[in-house]
Chain A
Amino acid sequence: MATQHSRSAAQFMMMPAVVLLLGWMLVPLVMTLYFSFKKYLPLRGGDLGWVGFENYARFLSSSTFWPSVQSTLIIVGGVLVITIVFGVLLALLLDQPMWGQGVVRILVIAPFFVMPTVSALVWKNMFMDPVNGLLAHLWKFFGAQPVEWLSNYSLFSIILIVSWQWLPFATLILLTAIQSLDSEQLEAAEMDGAPPLSRFGYIILPHLSRAITIVLLIQTIFLLSIFAEIFVTTQGSFGTRTLTYLIYQRVLESQNVGLGSAGGVYAIILANIVAIFLMRIVGKNLDA
C-alpha cells in the first residue's frame, strides 16, 4: 500500500467487514454490560431493576471466584506448555523422511476433527473410567490400584484431554514452519561445528519462534473459553471450575443473569490481561 489513494481505497474496501465485526462484537458486549448492572432472575421475578455494582461486588467476593481464575490459568498454561513442547517434538519427528509419511500425518491431525464433547466423552469413558477404562486395565495389568483420574487428578485430566485436542493444531503449524526452514542453514551450522542440540537451539527454535507465538496466541483465545470438556466430565467439581464454567453455573443453574453477566465482564478483563501479558512476552516475534 504505497500511495494515499491505494490506502484510502483499502480502508474503504475493509469497511463492510469492520462494520459487521464491530456489530457482531458490540451487540453481545453491550447486552452483557446492560444485564450486569441489573438484578435479573428469569424464573424468580424477571427484571427486578438496576442495582449498580452489586453484581460485580458479589461475583468478586464469592468464595468461588479466585479459585476459578486460578484453575482457568492452570488449564490454559498447562495445555499451552504441553501442546507447544510436544508439538515441536512431533513436528521434528514428522519432518523426518519416513515410510508412510502421508498416512501418519493425517493420523496425527485427526484428533482436531473430533468434536470437544465427543473427545471428552471418549476420554472419560474409554480411558479414564476407574472400572472399565483402558488406563484402569493397564494399571491392573501391572498390579496397581486403578487411578480415579477425574476425581483425584481432575485438573491434570482436563489438561490432558484438552491438550490431546489441541496438539494436532500446534503440530501442524509448527510442522509447516519447520518445513520452511532452509536446509542449507542447517548444513551451514553443521559445518560450523554445531552439534544437533545446538542446531536445534540456535537455528530451528529461533526459526520457529514466530509459529510458536501464533500457536500461543490462537490457543489462548480458545482455551480461555473451554467448556464442553468440563461439562461432560467433572461438571466443574474437584477444582475444575473455570471462570467460564462459573459463569455458566451462575446464569443457567442459579438462573441469575445479572450475576453471570458481571462474571462475563470479569472474563473479558481476564482475557485482556492475559493477552497484554502474552503480547509483552512474545509479541516482538511477530514483527517481521
Chain B
Amino acid sequence: MGNITLSQVTKTFGDVEVIPPLDLQINDGEFVVFVGPSGCGKSTLLRLIAGLEDVTSGKIEIDGQNATELPPARRGLAMVFQSYALYPHMTVRKNIAFPLKMAKMSEAEIKKRVDHAASILNLSDYIDRRPGQLSGGQRQRVAIGRAIVREPAAFLFDEPLSNLDAALRVGMRLEISELHKRLATTMVYVTHDQVEAMTMADKIVVLRAGNIEQVGSPLELYRTPRNKFVAGFIGSPTMNLIEGPEAQKHGAHTIGIRPEHIEVSASDGPWQGVVGVAEHLGSDTFFHIHDSGLADPMTVRASGEVSFRHGDRIYMTPRTDLIHKFDTQGQRIA
C-alpha cells in the first residue's frame, strides 16, 4: 500500500515561505512526477514527505495513518538521492543490505533479498565492488537496489537521472518505468525535465514557487493546460504564446499554439514571417521564425525534411481548434 495524502502542508525556512498551503493526493501504485523549474520547492516537498524536513504546519498521511510526526525510518518510504548517497566504504552488497541489517533481518533473508535485487538491476557482476569503482549508471542502480530491498510503501526519487549523460538517462528512464510496472509500488519522482515527466508519469504535479499549478495525466496537461505557466512548461519545444491584436481576434489576452499545431507553406497562410535558425532533427525540423508580428521567435514544427533556408519568407496556418486561450491573469478560458 502506498497512499500519501498531504493536507494544508506548509514549509517556511526562516521567514521564506517555500511551500504555501498545499493539498495533494497520491494514490497507491501511481507514478507521480513533481515537475517545475529549479528552486520551486520540489525537493523540499519530497523531503517533507520523506520526513527529512519537518512540516511547518499541515498534515501528512501515509496509508490513512498520520505520519506528520513520524521519523523518516518509520514512514516505510525509500528514497533515491540525486547524489546517490551510497556509502563509499561499503561494497555494493553491503550498501544494498544496509537497510535490511538495520531492520535486524536474518543473514539468510538479507542475502536472498540482496541477490534478488542485484539480479533485477543487473548488478550481480559488481556486487563486491565499492561505489567508487562503478560508473554513474551503475551507482544509480545500486541506489535503486538499496531502495527496493526494503519493499517500501512508496519510492521517492529526487532528480535521480540528472547526473547521467543523455543516452544513459533515456535508458535509466525506461528501466525505472519498467521497475514501476513490475513492482506496482507508488513512486514519487522529482524532476525539472518535462520530458522525463511526460514520458514516465501517470500523474504530473506542476509546481511553481511551491504552488501546485496543475495536477493531471501527461496528456491532460498537454491538451488542456490550466494556465499560461503550465502551457509554457509542458511540451517541447515550448508553446508559442501570442499577445496583442492576434489574441484579441480570438477573444483572449493571450493565445497559445504549439509548434506541432502549425502548418507551414512557402506560398500562403494567415501568418507569415522570416525563417531564422532551423533545427534539423531528421524526423522533424524546427524553425524559429522572426518578424511575424506575433511572438518572437515563433517556433514551428515541420515533419520530415523541409527545405526552407535562413531568410526565406514562410507562411503559417495554425490549427484553430488547438489554439489555447488565456485571460489577463493567464488563466485558461474554457
Contact = CB atoms under 8 A, between A and B. Distances in A.
Interface of A: 182, 184-185, 187-195, 198, 202-203, 206-207, 209
30 contacts: A182-B83, A184-B81, A184-B83, A184-B85, A185-B85, A185-B86, A187-B72, A188-B81, A188-B85, A188-B86, A188-B146, A190-B71, A190-B72, A190-B73, A191-B52, A191-B77, A192-B98, A192-B99, A192-B146, A192-B150, A193-B73, A193-B99, A193-B103, A194-B98, A195-B73, A198-B102, A202-B87, A202-B98, A203-B87, A206-B87
Contacts of A184: 81-83, 85
Given A190-B73, A191-B51, 9 more contacts: A182-B83, A184-B82, A185-B85, A187-B85, A190-B71, A190-B72, A192-B73, A198-B102, A206-B89
B50 interface: yes
B102 A192 contact: yes
B123 interface: no
Q: What is the size category of the interface that chain B forms with chain A?
A: 20 to 34
Q: Is the interface of A mostly helix, strand, loop or mixed?
A: helix
A87 B50 CA distance: 33
The CB with the most chain B CB atoms within 10 A, among A192, A193, A202, A206, is that of A192
Nearest to B94: A202
B226 to A, nearest CB: 34
A191 B72 contact: yes
Contact of A191 (B79, B82, B103): B79
A185 B73 contact: no
A189 B50 CA distance: 13
A206 B94 CA distance: 14
A187 B81 contact: yes
A259 B231 CA distance: 91
Interface string B87-112: 11100000000110011000000000
B78 interface: yes
A202 B85 CA distance: 14
Q: Is the interface of B mostly helix, strand, loop or mixed?
A: loop
A187 B71 CA distance: 11
B44 to A, nearest CB: 13
Contacts of A192: 73, 98-99, 102, 146, 150
Contacts of B98: 189, 192, 194, 202
Nearest to A190: B72
A89 to B, nearest CB: 21
Nearest to B83: A184
Contacts of B87: 185, 188-189, 202-203, 206
Contacts of A191: 50-52, 72-73, 77-79
Contacts of A202: 87, 98
Interface in B44-72: 50-52, 71-72
Given A193-B99, A207-B89, A187 B52 contact: yes
A182 B102 contact: no
A188 to B, nearest CB: 4
B52 A194 contact: no
Interface string B252-282: 0000000000000000000000000000000
A285 to B, nearest CB: 10
Contacts of B77: 191
B104 to A, nearest CB: 9
Contacts of A195: 73
Nearest to B143: A188
